[in-house]
Amino acid sequence: MLTRSRAGRLVISSAAIALVVSALGPVTAEAEEGSEDHSAGSQIAKHEGTGEMLLSPPGLEVGRVDGIDVSSHQGAVDWGHWWRSGKRFAYVKATEGTNYRNPNFTQQYNGSAGVGMTRGSYHFALPDRSDGATQARFFVANGGGWSKDGRTLPGTLDIEYNPYGETCYGMTAGAMVGWIRGFSDTYHGLTGRWPVIYTSTQWWDRCTGRAGDFSSTNPLWLARYAAGVGPMPFQWPFHTIWQYTSSPIDQNVFNGGADRLAALASG
């Protein structure tokens, strides 16, 4: 577990933002026909705000590993830049729903591993389009699998606000819990690993009705753009990863040292 301190917050200057953005490479990806591309936390930021632009998360001392997550919005990522910036793990968007595949996935997934990062992939869920099992199979077939090489993190289910309409996708809390469980169980059956669940506390508690308990199987990747992680979603005692800012790129911190990150990768 991480400990908290009264560390000061650092705000990014416009010059610093411009410098880092220039290292991301051109935004060239386009979504497949009939689909859009949403990055992890894009809808959380829209509904819950982005807070301050922090260079590093405050209140963190020992036992941390820094990382980022990317999607087609970053195009061809300069992974050497992010390695030199201290990032040691990455999550790459692979799929969304059952129609979208990240056209930059290969460069991003292999490139992050090529510089030495531990990496994994994530799936942006659209629960009103098809059932959880169907989307889990699509994810695994298109970059979401897992291998016991010590360098691959378990795949992540990104479940957050509906980018197309009603917050909870028009589903009851019970139906949403069932959808998530269908995805999780299917992913586990295909890979032998439980997927990480990426979400925000506000969305999760609202759309699951604080009824679904995944804390004993699925690691939590929590999105909250504030000075601290805040309260956990229902039943999770702690977070595994914290996405603390989306500027100038989605940045994350792993809740433990490098040995624990390696343990998560190895299973």
* CATH classification at residue 134: 3.20.20.80
Across 233-258, average pLDDT: 95
Across 188-202, average pLDDT: 98
- Catalytically active residues are 69, 160
Q: How many independent structural domains does the chain possess?
A: 1
d(CA 105, CA 100): 11
Q: Is the pLDDT of residue 235 over 60?
A: yes
Q: Is residue 136 part of a domain?
A: yes
Select from 127, 143, 145, 126 the least CA-distant residue to 36.
Answer: 126
Q: Is residue 205 part of a domain?
A: yes
d(CA 48, CA 119): 27
Select from 160, 166, 159, 161 the least CA-distant residue to 180.
Answer: 159
Q: Is residue 153 part of a domain?
A: yes
pLDDT digits (tens, 9 = 90+) for 255-266: 999 999 999 999
Q: Is residue 73 part of a domain?
A: yes
The contacts of residue 172 (CB under 8 Å, 6+ apart) are none
Q: Is residue 122 part of a domain?
A: yes
Q: Is residue 168 part of a domain?
A: yes
Q: Is the pLDDT of residue 191 over 50?
A: yes
What is the residue-averaged pLDDT of the chain?
Answer: 85
pTM over 0.75: yes
Torsion of CA 250, 94, 234, 127, to 10 degrees: 130
Q: Is residue 27 part of a domain?
A: no
Q: Is residue 142 part of a domain?
A: yes
